[in-house]
Structure 1
Amino acid sequence: MSENTASTPNSPTTPSTTWKDRTWLDFYPDWVRPELDYDAEHERTLAEIFDHAVKTWPKRPAMTFFGTTVTYAEYGRQVRMCAAMLHNRGVRKGDRVAIALPNCPQALITFYAVISLGATATLHNPLYTARELTVAFQDHGAKVGIFWDKAVDVARELRTVTPLEQIIPVTITRAMPWYLQFALKLPVPQVRALKNELAGSTEGLTEWADLVADASESEGRALIETAAVEPTDIALVLYTSGTTGTPKGAALSHANLCAVIIEGREWVPGLGEDEEPERMLAALPIFHAYGLTMNITLGPLIGGTVILLPAPKPPLLASAMKKQKPTWIPGVPALYQTIMDLAEEKHIDISGVKASFSGASSLPVEVVQRWENMTGGLLVEGYGLTETSPIVLGNPMSTDRRPGYVGIPFPDTQVRVVSQEDPTVVLPDGEAGELIVRGPQVFGGYLNRPDANERAFVTGEDGLGDWFRTGDMAVMERDGFVKIVSRIKEMIVTGGFNVYPQEVEEVLSEHPSIAQASVIGLPRSDGSETVAAGVVLAPGARLDEEVLKDHCREGLARYKVPRVFKVFDELPADQLGKVRRVEVREQMLGE
């Protein structure tokens, strides 16, 4: 493997004779083919898919945002102008451009402008602190960054400690209809609070929309048409911390990202085939692989209309469900529960949601039953990771769904359960072990981390590609259905977001009242987890939860801040002094 990433992305396996024991194919519905074509015209790169959508459905609405509608024709025009703007600021093929934005039209336009130039987008949570972003920005080395104007101070700090040179702020309210922009200027307390929540300051910097307006559409068109974008080019880098809490950049190629949406289109019956475009609720953040692929890259493939929500807040969800009536909703269990509660409270008819796909945390059976009763559509659970673009397993969109299981392999995807100690040893059906996967959507390796790549992959003995070690414990039944048993990585999943214990523990331990800390996840009824901390106090200190929470918020995103604290005289540890998080969790659950 090379210094930057693995040499090539995994490739789809074509000859069926090379696949053994594909018992799960018996559960494929009639519309799902086990082997797909990833070299079809207009579908080899995300740039090709986008260009094809612009030409095929120019008058269709590509996205909506607070009542503003952008057609595919206008989408394409703005991407071309943004590409010209980025080129004028020095962005070239292979360069990395950082994007730290909430769900908004500017984020989507910038993303497609970057990848259409043959450059690489690195997506980041716009609410992260400089501390949380520094390692990633030092690693990918982006010189140009597109930031939410509320994160400008973070960007300025990053510019002092990373290769970042140019800061382009985005005021997302400028994408709203004129009447809402006018309303936000009114001296009303509630309106002022909303404006403060949505917009920050661009003082001393030129705002994104002004820079794009000064760019040339014709220049952007020429740049995009002559860009040599290849399927093997890295389109996206997303950072994931794995077992250590140290961010690693998962480098996803155009081929990886195209494969997963082509597989997804195959998996969901009739997706995008109606005369009316799918209305796709984008409540998941696009700076995560799940939110990006299930809406932002899937949308142009099927000519769908993406309903952009900057955050999955109840008023925004209620308005979207009532006025725009989505037909496709990817989400997490907590999102579905919120929507259903809102529908009952506000008497909103949510029937018409044809298909929904759940990931990130386990999906309770009662949520499925309630959702399907209220919508009349299907809700199934799947599984994946950032490194797999992100989906490798899914329950069939049919009566063969199996509660408690994350499903069966997607087309052209293989999974195994192996010994954690020796991943070349495949375990018998029904025995728990580490899940390893391979397929066209599986990435080729981490950026600048040959050491991590060496540990992350198992060489395929059949010459059909390496296997990626997921770090998750699973059981695979004889018929191919997979159940996730536990996380080797001890990662906490809260509301669909990943929290890495070590990162939170480091911040907690910096407070003078904390001698030692261990962070774990406590289960919630919606299938996700609450971040909790077991702490040993410094001599003479007392527990003040609000002070500790405020301290954590200075260095961490709010969802990472522990909500529950427990004081220990000493934390359970092994003979080498390593804290046993499992025992900390058991003790906190036992209260």
Structure 2
Amino acid sequence: MTMVRQHYAAGVPDEIELPTAPLPDLLTRAVADFPNRHAIDFIGQKTSYAELGELVQKTASMLTLAGVKRGDVVAAILPNCTQHVALAYATWSIGAILAEHNPLAPAKELVAQIENHGGTVVVGWEKTLTDLADLLPGKTIMAVNLTAALPKRSQMLLKLPIKAARAQRNKMRGRVPAHVYSFEKMVASAPSSFVAEGPDIHDVAVYLHTGGTTGSPKAVCLTHFNIMSNYEQVAAWLCELKRGDETIGSVLPFFHAFGMVLSLVLSVGLAATQDILPSFDPDMLIAANKRHPITFFGGVPPMYDRLIAAFDGPNPFTKLRYSVSGAMPLDPELAKRWEEATDSLLIEGYGMTEGSPVIAGSPVSADRRPSTLGLPFPSVEVRVVDPENIDNDVAEGEIGELLVRGPNVFIGYLNQPEETAQTLIDGEWLRTGDLVTWDDGFLVMADRRKELIINSGFNVYPSQVEEAVRSMPGIRDVAVVGMPDGTRGEAVVAALVLEPGATIDLENVRKWTQDKLSHYSMPRSIAIMDELPRSQLGKVMRRSVRDQLQDLELQAGVWKQKLSATGDDLRERATELRDRIEAGMERSTPSEPETDTTPDEESAQEK
């Protein structure tokens, strides 16, 4: 790995010292060393590390009184908030397992996940539990009131009998059935101390729900050792960050691996102050930055684009030194704009839930390379292999599947031994399902193996086609998928979102790409869409695009609504078209900046 290590930033070791203490040790040390430092700023409500430690103690005491013991599962269905941080560390302190869930996921999906892990205690956001609580018989259910974590003045304003206050209160709160307990009242009445066995470092700490490397839903089992190892790896990579001196912008969802490690783990390990928001809102983040200037920020590319657009005058992030981008490729032009706008470094990381999650990243130096996966982290071994015969490594420059081994690699999927065996080779090598190449020590993504398009025996990489099509004038966004095409295997389809007023047909697209792509990679058909389905982190979900196309039919190279022979269906479609046109007109009307403090309900699906 000499080729890789030569690009490491100064001070980054080749190997980490393997952890010996479980996750609660991070908070214990932060409380001891920095008791008066602000741990959390939640929309203006400040909580010191000493106060957070006391809240965790009382929450842990409450959980033990509820019957939770080592190895039991506590389900968290929460947006980012102070209660979420306390629940996580309280659960870990008593040796229980934290099962994270998306609070905006469909009730049916949440029920299936909870039935899979068997948790008997469920702590959820009131609005989620409104429809969910009655579907979980026999569970001890506690509702979190988001407004309870706000400053007293904000709580009083929300109680005012005026329309604006009532609307905001309704966005944050929900009605729950009578058998649901108040989380805040349960914690307040609990003793300040507890007796519990506590975790071993090799105990499972978290269940995170993901599509995994094969796309089917599953729960990833991460141990304290896995997550603490990744903490040590990330801290070593970001060696310029100083414990007790940093403020971190925490807007990525905690139920996602990226947000969990950044906010619940790294921030606490660094004894940093967290500016926590329940969802990403540029104006609210800029306001939080005025209270506690952010020095380090983690986000996804669309967040950086929206933040730049929200700057009203000079750069508000004057203390920012480093940012990290993940979950999807980072456009070098966007990286350049962010660095110039904030006078800071933006690096790119690569990971997956099964890697706890960070596996590689660009160096925090002038050698950073946006749009690459970066360099394998300390103590991470990688191989690039023939996907059809993983015993054979491919030559440098050739495309192969990425295999990863290290202390941060997960131990398996919950209750899915066959899936585990397919993904975790020999119990240690993680098959990522990502197709990559080596380029002078840097890993470069070609595509997801499961999204590879086979056209007449040729491999077509959707990301490469998307890059070529996206540069075409008039196209705002694109997703490329494969659709069944008889003996050819799959045809390349480009789903396009156009700029307002743009008109583009298949011939235009093929002419634009003819000198950028091989003939077999050029789109054979297109679909015009209002928007592309995206995950909670903003990543385009190609599988959902493909599902939408299955409801359409191909007409002269364009995927359109299926023609109907009945007058009723035609009238219904005309009505739907009229509604869509009117909705589009409404969207084009200027509106006030969004200030919702609840998660974006249009981004409810997970990665």
Q: TM-score, normalised by structure 1?
A: 0.78
Over residues 157-189 of structure 1, what are the superposed CA-to-partner deviations in whole Å (9 max), with x where a residue is unaligned? 4304xxx61110000100111110000011222
1:49-68 → structure 2 map (5 Å cutoff)? 49-68=26-45
Report if the CA contact (8 A) 2:36-2:48 is conserved.
Answer: yes
2:359 — aligned with what? 392
Report if the CA contact (8 A) 2:299-2:325 is conserved.
Answer: yes
- The SS at the match of 2:393 is coil
1: distance between equivalents of 2:146 and 2:232? 31
1:288 — aligned with what? 256
Q: 1:117 to 1:547 in 2, by over 3 A?
A: farther
Is 1:241 aligned to 2:220, yes or no?
A: no
2: distance between equivalents of 1:288 and 1:72? 24
2:603 — aligned with what? 559
Gaps of at least 5 residues in structure 2 are 453-461, 464-480, 484-526, 553-561, 584-599
Is 1:74 aligned to 2:44, yes or no?
A: no
Deviation of 1:203 (Å): 4.6
1: distance between equivalents of 2:19 and 2:538? 38
Is 1:529 aligned to 2:529, yes or no?
A: no
1: distance between equivalents of 2:250 and 2:219? 24
Deviation of 1:200 (Å): 1.1
2: distance between equivalents of 1:359 and 1:458? 26
Deviation of 1:538 (Å): 8.2
Deviation of 1:346 (Å): 5.4
Deviation of 1:347 (Å): 4.6
Deviation of 1:277 (Å): 2.4
Is 1:184 aligned to 2:158, yes or no?
A: yes
Q: 1:290 to 1:361 in 2, by over 3 A?
A: same
Deviation of 1:529 (Å): 3.0
1:12-23 → structure 2 map (5 Å cutoff)? 21-23=1-3
2: distance between equivalents of 1:420 and 1:487? 11
Over residues 168-219 of structure 1, what are the superposed CA-to-partner deviations in whole Å (9 max), with x where a residue is unaligned? 000010011111000001122222211111111245132111000110012x
1:110-189 → structure 2 map (5 Å cutoff)? 110-160=87-137, 165-189=139-163
Paired amino acid for 2:285:
L
Deviation of 1:228 (Å): 3.6
Over residues 95-136 of structure 1, what are the superposed CA-to-partner deviations in whole Å (9 max), with x where a residue is unaligned? 011000001000110111001100000011111121222321
1: distance between equivalents of 2:424 and 2:415? 15
1:576 — aligned with what? none
2:296 — aligned with what? 328
2:190 — aligned with what? 215
Q: How many residues align?
A: 495
1:261 — aligned with what? 231
1:100 — aligned with what? 77
Q: TM-score, normalised by structure 2?
A: 0.76
1: distance between equivalents of 2:192 and 2:578? 52
2: distance between equivalents of 1:362 and 1:49? 31
Report if the CA contact (8 A) 1:363-1:527 is conserved.
Answer: no
Q: 1:158 to 1:197 in 2, by over 3 A?
A: same
Paired amino acid for 1:180:
S
Paired amino acid for 1:434:
E
Equivalent of 1:473 in 419, 426, 435 = 435
Q: Which has the higher contact order (CA 8 A, sep 6+)?
A: 1
Paired amino acid for 2:79:
P
Gaps of at least 5 residues in structure 1 are 1-20, 460-464, 494-499, 503-517, 551-555, 562-591
2: distance between equivalents of 1:429 and 1:374? 36
Report if the CA contact (8 A) 1:169-1:208 is conserved.
Answer: yes
Deviation of 1:59 (Å): 1.0
Q: 1:68 to 1:354 in 2, by over 3 A?
A: same
Deviation of 1:313 (Å): 1.8
Q: 1:519 to 1:429 in 2, by over 3 A?
A: farther
2:320 — aligned with what? 353
1: distance between equivalents of 2:563 and 2:114? 34
2: distance between equivalents of 1:310 and 1:124? 14
- The SS at the match of 1:32 is coil
Report if the CA contact (8 A) 1:326-1:352 is conserved.
Answer: yes
Over residues 408-431 of structure 1, what are the superposed CA-to-partner deviations in whole Å (9 max), with x where a residue is unaligned? 000000111111111121111111
Report if the CA contact (8 A) 2:211-2:218 is conserved.
Answer: yes
1:422 — aligned with what? 389
Q: 1:228 to 1:207 in 2, by over 3 A?
A: closer
Over residues 419-449 of structure 1, what are the superposed CA-to-partner deviations in whole Å (9 max), with x where a residue is unaligned? 1111121111111111111111110111111
Deviation of 1:386 (Å): 0.6
Over residues 327-372 of structure 1, what are the superposed CA-to-partner deviations in whole Å (9 max), with x where a residue is unaligned? 11011011111111111x3555222211111100100111111111
Paired amino acid for 1:186:
L
2: distance between equivalents of 1:213 and 1:292? 26
2:10 — aligned with what? 30
2: distance between equivalents of 1:384 and 1:245? 16
Report if the CA contact (8 A) 2:130-2:175 is conserved.
Answer: no
2:559 — aligned with what? none
Is 1:482 aligned to 2:493, yes or no?
A: no
Paired amino acid for 1:166:
T
Q: 1:474 to 1:90 in 2, by over 3 A?
A: same
2: distance between equivalents of 1:81 and 1:54? 15
- The SS at the match of 2:389 is coil
Is 1:300 aligned to 2:268, yes or no?
A: yes
- The SS at the match of 1:232 is coil
Report if the CA contact (8 A) 1:501-1:519 is conserved.
Answer: no
Deviation of 1:501 (Å): 12
- The SS at the match of 1:475 is strand
Report if the CA contact (8 A) 2:251-2:280 is conserved.
Answer: yes
1:270 — aligned with what? 240
Equivalent of 1:194 in 168, 176, 181 = 168
- The SS at the match of 1:529 is coil
Report if the CA contact (8 A) 2:401-2:434 is conserved.
Answer: yes
Deviation of 1:143 (Å): 0.8
Deviation of 1:52 (Å): 1.4
2: distance between equivalents of 1:321 and 1:138? 40
1:250 — aligned with what? 220
Paired amino acid for 1:326:
I
1: distance between equivalents of 2:23 and 2:15? 20
CA RMSD of aligned residues (A): 3.0
Q: 1:557 to 1:64 in 2, by over 3 A?
A: closer
1: distance between equivalents of 2:242 and 2:445? 31
- The SS at the match of 2:267 is helix
1:374-393 → structure 2 map (5 Å cutoff)? 374-393=341-360
1:574 — aligned with what? none
2: distance between equivalents of 1:335 and 1:348? 16
2: distance between equivalents of 1:523 and 1:194? 27
- The SS at the match of 1:423 is strand
- The SS at the match of 2:9 is coil
Paired amino acid for 1:155:
L
Over residues 356-409 of structure 1, what are the superposed CA-to-partner deviations in whole Å (9 max), with x where a residue is unaligned? 111001001111111111222110111000111110010000111123211000
Deviation of 1:295 (Å): 1.7
- The SS at the match of 1:383 is strand
Paired amino acid for 1:170:
V
1: distance between equivalents of 2:77 and 2:539? 25
Q: 1:287 to 1:147 in 2, by over 3 A?
A: same
1: distance between equivalents of 2:604 and 2:185? 35
